[in-house]
A and B are shown apart, each in its own frame.
Chain A
Amino acid sequence: MTWESYAALLALGAFHGLNPAMGWLFAVARGMQERSRTVLLRSLPPIAAGHLASVAIVAAIISATRSVVAANVVGITGGVLLVGFGLWRLLSERHFRWAGMRLSAAQLAGWSFLMSSAHGAGLMLLPVLATTPVPGSAHAGHELPGAGGSPLAALTGLGAAGVHTVAMFTVMAGCALVVYEFLGVNILRRAWFNVDRLWAGVLVAAGALTIAVTA
């Protein structure tokens, strides 16, 4: 992992954290319902955990498979899938459904997991993961895998997901607290631009970038 990779992971984490639909708005709503900052703060870890789980699965799979399959195959295939998924998000009329406002911490983590997965949060890390050298091979992108590379590579992916989630958690907590303490939710009416459309655009761009870098 290079510094550039970490910076990209952090930036994408911040982007995910910024999206009200990814969790912080839910935390604010719970806090306001119970009139309790503590409830808000307690809502954040499960949301972050769900996000981490969603991202980590994708990241671990990408990192691990990169060490057993030629990287450019993974990169290009992944890139094409990503562009397709992004376009589908952009153009489709489908919307995420989840019932209920009264959720336990475990259910909240489940909600966050599904929300992140349905939006392709983990896939957005593909350009970073696909260009990160695999541990144990100096030029993994151009070599067939060495024995024993996979578990280590998966760990790299998990590490990447962790870094990403720290940034996501920090930005999410910041947004939630600022809105809860100072701004009030009425700010949403003016400031909540259509993150979903931007999100879809970023997915497409991430896919194109992955293809460009690995091809």
Chain B
Amino acid sequence: MTRWTPDPTFYPSPSDAAGAPAEKLAYVAAFDRTAEKPDAIAVVDTDPASDSYGRVVGWTDLPHTGDELHHFGWNACSSALCPTAPHPHVERRYLIVPGLRSSRVYVLDTKDDPRQPRLVKEISAEELAAKADYSRPHTVHCGPDGIYLSALGAGRGDDGPGGIAILDHQTFDVRGQWEADRGDQRLAYDFWWHLTQDVLVTSEWGTPSMIEDGLVPELLLGRKYGHRIHFWDLAKRSLVQTVDLGDQYQMALELRPAHDPAATYGFVGVVISVEDLSASVWLWHRSGGSFEVRKVIDIPAEPADPADLPPALQPFAAVPPLVTDIDLTVDDKFLYVSCWGTGELRRYDVSDPFQPVFAGSVHLGGIVRRTPHPAFPDEPLAGGPQMVEVSRDGKRVYVTNSLYGSWDDQFYPHGVGAWLARLDASEDSFTLDTRFFPHGDEFRGRRVHQTRLQGGDASSDSYCFPSPSTRT
């Protein structure tokens, strides 16, 4: 049943959202790599005034094993205020939680007890395949007229094409495949949109057979992983333009369009260049009628003693940064960049998106450095800042350390562990919060992947109205 007044977590514009109250809870996807115990959503207290601040205060086990929880998202968000199909009285209360390995999709209700989300629906892999011909569901975005869910694989087998399925945002039924005309798009990963411009953007990783057993060196050196981004007509659901970054740039993953609905640019992170193991961030922008891209951030690999490296990297005597996630603050000012290989979280001032300015860095973990958290200086950390989530006001940044089960094992063969760190950010600095570091046994033997913040965060909402300050 719908509400009488709009959901209070919906905001018409980015600046309104930036004024939202701070999140009290964070939801974290936790998975068991051995597939012996069920995966879970862990609930972490993020209220500094609380006695249990920084601790796991809720836990919802899922009914099956082997799902490999990865990304997830809300059923509804600020896009419900968009005027084309307004639904302001739906509620942001359900988490849509896909199992990347099992292809199941769970729906969890957070309303009655936000600390113990309750499973209310399960979509089977068979249903997703039958109705949308997709498998390996990955990214969730709440659109004004439904829930958009990207998937890496086709409905049957371990190959592509991957794409986007649509779910009803109230019944969660699979409505079908989103694409009306996909052209030669085959590889899928992330997607997001310029909602007011009727533009949808998708990126490329690989099909299930290319990723599920780990990074395949032959495919990487053969430049077979994704290196293109696609621009679609959001209304007509057809591919309009494809831009190739160049086949040395392997794995164009996370897409972060500007939140300002009057802007038409965004950033995409590239994991690795096969020519020098560097990572990069690219800007897309509209020029005339079409989109152009340019590399705006380049992060070089760091020389390393082969003895400190996992077998896959020893021949190169260098540790690649591996930019596996990026996140743009709601005011579009700062871009956070995860370097999962070197164990570093970088920040860039992207007020001028064409000219990012390096604005600080924090080390944590890393293949070689293994930098400990300041609160536990005697514990070298594995993994690195991976999924990064920024609060709506931009003052808090959360990072988890697992990338993907089989890839964790390759790059951190001695175990990746599990940790969630929080940083406090201001205009001038960002530093690790020494009171907030749930890790190790707190996650009950699971690895932690993505974080979602109660009420919304910087990577889950879309706005249809420009901020008052940007209006003339």
Contact = CB atoms under 8 A, between A and B. Distances in A.
A33 B13 CA distance: 12
Interface string A84-109: 00000000010111111110000000
Bin the interface of chain A by size: 20 to 34
Contacts of B85: 95-98
Contact of A95 (B81, B87, B262): B87
Interface string A34-75: 010000000000000000000000000000000000000000
A192 B466 contact: no
A6 interface: no
Contacts of B6: 188-189, 192
B235 A189 contact: no
Contacts of A101: 82-84, 195-198, 464
Contact of B170 (A21, A93, A98, A186): A93
Contacts of A98: 84-85, 145
A97 B145 contact: yes
Nearest to A92: B170
B468 interface: yes
Nearest to A30: B83
Interface in A181-215: 184-186, 188-190, 192-194, 196-197
Contact of B2 (A26, A33, A35, A197): A197
A28 interface: yes
A194 B84 contact: no
A159 interface: no
Nearest to B19: A186
A25 interface: yes
Contact of A189 (B8, B83, B145, B198): B8
A101 B170 CA distance: 22
A20 interface: yes
Given A28-B83, A97-B145, A189 B4 contact: no
B11 A100 contact: no
B235 A95 contact: no
Secondary structure class of chain B's binding surface, majority of residues: loop
Contacts, number: 99
Contact of B12 (A35, A102, A188): A188
A16 B170 CA distance: 25
A119 to B, nearest CB: 12
Bin the interface of chain B by size: 35 or more
A29 B83 contact: yes
B83 A193 contact: no
A197 B5 CA distance: 11
Contact of A185 (B5, B8, B195, B465): B465
Contacts of A97: 85, 145-146
Contact of B89 (A32, A96, A194): A194
B198 A193 contact: no
A185 B4 contact: no
A186 B13 contact: yes
B282 to A, nearest CB: 25
A33 B89 CA distance: 24
Contacts of B3: 194
A32 B468 CA distance: 9
A99 B472 contact: no
Contacts of B82: 29, 101
Nearest to B168: A93
A35 B234 CA distance: 23
Contacts of B262: 33, 35
A28 B12 CA distance: 12
Interface in B422-472: 464-466, 468, 471-472
Contacts of A32: 465-466, 471
A26 B82 CA distance: 8
B261 interface: yes
A99 B235 CA distance: 5
Contacts of B196: 29, 33, 101-102
A179 to B, nearest CB: 10
A79 to B, nearest CB: 26
Interface string A130-174: 000000000000000000000000000000000000000000000
A193 to B, nearest CB: 6
B16 interface: yes
Given A32-B471, A197-B2, A188 B88 contact: yes
Interface in B88-108: 88-89
Contacts of A102: 196-198, 235
A138 to B, nearest CB: 46
B340 interface: no
A99 B145 CA distance: 8
B287 interface: no
Given A25-B83, A35-B471, A196 B12 contact: no
Contact of A93 (B12, B171, B465): B171
A192 B171 contact: no
B418 to A, nearest CB: 38
A192 B83 CA distance: 13
A186 to B, nearest CB: 5
Interface of A: 20-21, 25-26, 28-29, 32-33, 35, 93, 95-102, 111, 184-186, 188-190, 192-194, 196-197
List of 10 A-B pairs having minimum Cβ-Cβ separation, nearest first: A100-B235, A99-B235, A26-B83, A185-B12, A25-B83, A29-B83, A194-B89, A185-B465, A93-B170, A101-B196
10 contacts: A20-B86, A29-B83, A29-B465, A95-B87, A97-B146, A99-B235, A99-B237, A100-B235, A188-B81, A196-B2
Interface of B: 2-6, 8, 10-13, 16, 81-89, 145-146, 168, 170-171, 195-198, 234-237, 261-262, 464-466, 468, 471-472
Given A29-B465, A194-B4, 15 more contacts: A20-B86, A28-B83, A29-B82, A29-B83, A29-B464, A32-B466, A35-B472, A95-B87, A98-B84, A98-B145, A99-B145, A99-B236, A101-B196, A111-B84, A194-B5
